[in-house]
Chains A and B, each alone.
Chain A
């Protein structure tokens, strides 16, 4: 609370951080009550990017849901596509060709790398380091170029189909991907570490700030790197294997303290693991079609199903209810960062303004999927 010296009056200040602000990662508004430099209360206010997707898709034949899912978490569109397709395919009992299974893993992991590269740059920016941002973006751009060559679009792909993928990838493309991974592994990743993560000021700023205990993380529904940074090795790719993750060899990086530094490290190590996974997929990619027998529409039975997968940000889920028609009776998206955003008041109580920005950045919030 406001400290008062006899004779002097002090007042709390309410500051609206956003929806237009350089560091709120999209249109997030945080109503902050400040006692000088110290945050007394931080209340996120969402809804500025609400587009009513869940209701709109009820009117669309099911394959039409996929482009909407892209625009949820627009920084990891493939992860959302794959999840929504999983829900539709499981409920509608659509066969998925083997090659499509492997390719979906490949694209999901490439997307994870790209998403973490963006996070790296933005987090550096939140801490006042401008240069890492451009290094992160350089490699993100080459990743997006690869995506464009394979799928035809940079960010919002519409690449998955119910029962497979729109098109196959070429051998030449796989070679380019290999070169990209080599560059990332040998040059870019060590550079990231040297430039930001190992920097003394970075360590000083992130260690011990924004601490989240394991109990709190579980109680507030955190998932992904935010949950794993507290030491719990909970990764849906391991715990509830989908696609072909059970046949792949990879580790799940975890932290110990649940602070900003651990969250950063978990994401950095995940880039390494994703590179490993993609290499394995490229080696073991089976031949065959990538799209099963073409079907104009899928009729869902009167049943419901909850598909959940590990997106770069955490557990992304699709709860799908069918009632015998070609469109969904109800479709509910579970967005990981919606849960993470609820942690903001908890993490930011009593910290300095600078740490609040760092906490917000380390949660890696994407407003597209929070507001939907």
Chain B
């Protein structure tokens, strides 16, 4: 009984944090986009800098008409936003925000995250297929190719860290970085991982799946209201978890030079990575599908393999 209660409380805590985080990220994105584009972004709703804009948007989305496209595959179309959002939320339970500040420290934490987050692809593909819309289908096909191709370098690039730390548990990996971060010995891995995270969260320059100028809105063209909101919700969730994972694996997690609580260091590092992702999004044009594939298969995967080889050789020879 206690286990069940604990699980429910954990789930509620995670959901609250994910929702709050998505609100903050969406507001941040709009503010950052605004300032990059010489605008001011949200300004009027709720306090300084339009801080409650996302909340107002949320209320608006809840109250919108529940539009359903004709000829849809009802069950698939209905399930898609849920399937896409669930893994984005679930990943949060394996991320160490601070020492002992983790919902579940699993000894296979990294594998758990890698396997759960690849479920997101399923939701995207279901949305594209179920909508009975050609733009959605094209977007889903692109997303399928893209997410599948970038899952591989993302996982391969973390293996160097696993080798260096000798563990798959994220808490242990962070604990091993108390003296020095894995960033510099693993700089190749970090670069590959970060690029793969950008691609997996569908952000410019890799936003092919929703390419506005080509596919209207890609796989979620036919969604509106709160169903639509689940897709950006999932996207911002994965953006955060991607950056949080990069912090955990490469930037020393909760370790920091000053006497601040560990979780503050963790959030600072993560939000800096998130900021860089937003900066990139509002600066660069989009790549083409074949260039995206080339980058993934011909550049990132070999690079991450080189990284594994180098790390392995170093460990075998030096230690």
Q: Which residues of A contact B (CB under 8 A)?
A: 13, 15, 21-23, 34, 36-37, 124-131, 134-135, 138, 195-196, 199, 201-202, 204-205, 352-355, 357
B contact residues around A202 at 8 Å (CB): 285
User: Which residues of B (136-194) have their CB < 8 Å from a CB of A?
Assistant: 138, 141-142
What 14 additional pairs, Cβ within 8 angstroms, besides A127-B285, A127-B286? A15-B134, A22-B213, A37-B289, A128-B204, A128-B207, A128-B286, A131-B36, A199-B284, A201-B287, A205-B286, A205-B287, A353-B214, A354-B286, A357-B213
Task: Report the minimal beta-carbon distance from B38 to chain A, rounded to whole angstroms.
Answer: 6
Sort A-B residue pairs by CB-CB distance and give the 9 closest, nearest first: A128-B286, A129-B285, A23-B213, A127-B285, A134-B37, A354-B288, A201-B285, A126-B213, A128-B285
A contact residues around B33 at 8 Å (CB): 130-131
User: Given the interface contacts A125-B213, A126-B213, A129-B204, does A201 sit within 8 Å of B284 by beta carbon?
Assistant: yes
Q: Mark B245-289, 1 if CB is under 8 A from A, else 0.
A: 000000000000000000000000000000000000011111111
Q: Which residues of B contact A (CB under 8 A)?
A: 33, 36-39, 134-135, 138, 141-142, 204-205, 207-208, 211-216, 282-291
Contact A352 B284 (CB under 8 A): no
Task: Compute how far the CA of A199 lies from the CA of B207 in the bound complex, rounded to whole angstroms.
Answer: 17
6 A-B residue pairs with Cβ-Cβ distance under 8 Å, sorted by A, are A36-B141, A37-B142, A196-B285, A205-B288, A353-B215, A354-B208
B contact residues around A352 at 8 Å (CB): 288-290
A contact residues around B285 at 8 Å (CB): 124, 127-129, 196, 199, 201-202, 205
B contact residues around A138 at 8 Å (CB): 38
User: Given the interface contacts A37-B142, A129-B285, A353-B138, does A23 sit within 8 Å of B36 by beta carbon?
Assistant: no
Task: Compute how far the CA of A128 lies from the CA of B287 in the bound complex, rounded to whole angstroms.
Answer: 8
Task: Compute how far the CA of A266 lies from the CA of B291 in the bound complex, rounded to whole angstroms.
Answer: 25
Task: Compute how far the CA of A37 lies from the CA of B135 in the bound complex, rounded to whole angstroms.
Answer: 11
Task: Compute how far the CA of A196 lies from the CA of B214 in the bound complex, rounded to whole angstroms.
Answer: 19
A contact residues around B216 at 8 Å (CB): 21-22
Q: Which of B208, B213, B284 has the most CB of A within 10 A?
A: B213
Task: Report the minimal beta-carbon distance from B41 to chain A, rounded to whole angstroms.
Answer: 12
Q: Which of B138, B204, B284 has the most CB of A within 10 A?
A: B284
Task: Compute how far the CA of A36 lies from the CA of B138 in the bound complex, rounded to whole angstroms.
Answer: 8
A contact residues around B214 at 8 Å (CB): 23, 353-354, 357
Query: Which residue from chain A places its CB closest to the CB of B288 in the assembled complex?
Result: A354
Task: Compute how far the CA of A125 lies from the CA of B33 in the bound complex, rounded to whole angstroms.
Answer: 15
B contact residues around A195 at 8 Å (CB): 283
Task: Compute how far the CA of A202 lies from the CA of B37 in the bound complex, rounded to whole angstroms.
Answer: 18
Task: Compute how far the CA of A129 lies from the CA of B286 in the bound complex, rounded to whole angstroms.
Answer: 7
Task: Report the minimal beta-carbon distance from A202 to chain B, rounded to whole angstroms.
Answer: 5
Contact A130 B289 (CB under 8 A): no
Task: Report the minimal beta-carbon distance from B133 to chain A, rounded to whole angstroms.
Answer: 10
Contact A201 B286 (CB under 8 A): yes
A contact residues around B138 at 8 Å (CB): 15, 34, 37, 353
B contact residues around A23 at 8 Å (CB): 213-214
Task: Compute how far the CA of A129 lies from the CA of B214 in the bound complex, rounded to whole angstroms.
Answer: 12
Contact A204 B286 (CB under 8 A): no
Query: Which residue from chain B places its CB closest to the CB of A357 in the assembled complex?
Result: B214
Task: Compute how far the CA of A13 lies from the CA of B208 in the bound complex, rounded to whole angstroms.
Answer: 19
Task: Compute how far the CA of A148 lies from the CA of B220 in the bound complex, rounded to whole angstroms.
Answer: 41
A contact residues around B205 at 8 Å (CB): 128, 201
Query: Which residue from chain B places its CB closest to the CB of A353 in the assembled complex?
Result: B214
B contact residues around A357 at 8 Å (CB): 213-214
Task: Report the minimal beta-carbon distance from B224 to chain A, rounded to whole angstroms.
Answer: 16
Task: Report the minimal beta-carbon distance from B28 to chain A, rounded to whole angstroms.
Answer: 16
Task: Report the minimal beta-carbon distance from A351 to chain B, rounded to whole angstroms.
Answer: 9
Task: Compute how far the CA of A294 lies from the CA of B253 in the bound complex, rounded to whole angstroms.
Answer: 80
Task: Compute how far the CA of A196 lies from the CA of B290 in the bound complex, rounded to whole angstroms.
Answer: 21
Q: Which of B39, B207, B287 has the most CB of A within 10 A?
A: B287
Q: Indicate which residue in A13, A128, A135, A204 contacts B211 across the interface (CB closer than 8 Å).
A: A128
Task: Compute how far the CA of A208 lies from the CA of B96 in the bound complex, rounded to whole angstroms.
Answer: 47
User: Given the interface contacts A37-B138, A201-B287, A354-B289, does A131 sit within 8 Å of B211 by beta carbon?
Assistant: no
Query: Which residue from chain B places its CB closest to the CB of A134 in the assembled complex?
Result: B37
Task: Compute how far the CA of A254 lies from the CA of B211 in the bound complex, rounded to whole angstroms.
Answer: 31
Contact A135 B286 (CB under 8 A): no
Task: Compute how far the CA of A349 lies from the CA of B138 in the bound complex, rounded to whole angstroms.
Answer: 18
Task: Compute how far the CA of A196 lies from the CA of B212 in the bound complex, rounded to whole angstroms.
Answer: 18
B contact residues around A135 at 8 Å (CB): 37-38
Contact B288 A134 (CB under 8 A): no
Task: Compute how far the CA of A141 lies from the CA of B239 in the bound complex, rounded to whole angstroms.
Answer: 35
Task: Report the minimal beta-carbon distance from B279 to chain A, rounded to whole angstroms.
Answer: 11
A contact residues around B289 at 8 Å (CB): 37, 352, 354
Q: Indicate which residue in A37, A126, A130, A204 contacts B141 across the interface (CB closer than 8 Å).
A: A37
A contact residues around B284 at 8 Å (CB): 129, 199, 201
B contact residues around A134 at 8 Å (CB): 37-39
Task: Compute how far the CA of A349 lies from the CA of B33 in the bound complex, rounded to whole angstroms.
Answer: 36
Task: Report the minimal beta-carbon distance from A350 to chain B, rounded to whole angstroms.
Answer: 13
Q: Indicate which residue in A22, A131, A205, A354 contacts B283 across the interface (CB closer than 8 Å).
A: A131
A contact residues around B38 at 8 Å (CB): 134-135, 138
Task: Compute how far the CA of A36 lies from the CA of B142 in the bound complex, rounded to whole angstroms.
Answer: 10
Query: Which residue from chain B places its CB closest to the CB of A125 in the assembled complex?
Result: B213
Task: Compute how far the CA of A202 lies from the CA of B288 in the bound complex, rounded to whole angstroms.
Answer: 10
A contact residues around B39 at 8 Å (CB): 134
Q: Which of A15, A124, A131, A135 has the most CB of B within 10 A?
A: A131
Query: Which residue from chain B places its CB closest to the CB of A200 in the assembled complex?
Result: B284
Task: Compute how far the CA of A129 lies from the CA of B17 in the bound complex, rounded to whole angstroms.
Answer: 31
B contact residues around A128 at 8 Å (CB): 204-205, 207, 211-213, 285-286
Query: Which residue from chain B places its CB closest to the CB of A203 in the assembled complex?
Result: B285
Task: Report the minimal beta-carbon distance from B108 to chain A, rounded to whole angstroms.
Answer: 37
B contact residues around A204 at 8 Å (CB): 287-288, 291
Task: Compute how far the CA of A205 lies from the CA of B292 in the bound complex, rounded to whole angstroms.
Answer: 11
Q: Which of A13, A21, A34, A37 has the most CB of B within 10 A?
A: A37
Task: Compute how far the CA of A178 lies from the CA of B205 in the bound complex, rounded to whole angstroms.
Answer: 37
Task: Compute how far the CA of A204 lies from the CA of B285 in the bound complex, rounded to whole angstroms.
Answer: 10
Task: Report the minimal beta-carbon distance from B32 to chain A, rounded to whole angstroms.
Answer: 11
Query: Which residue from chain A places its CB closest to the CB of B145 in the assembled complex?
Result: A37
Query: Which residue from chain A places its CB closest to the CB of B205 in the assembled complex?
Result: A201
A contact residues around B290 at 8 Å (CB): 352
Task: Report the minimal beta-carbon distance from A196 to chain B, rounded to whole angstroms.
Answer: 7
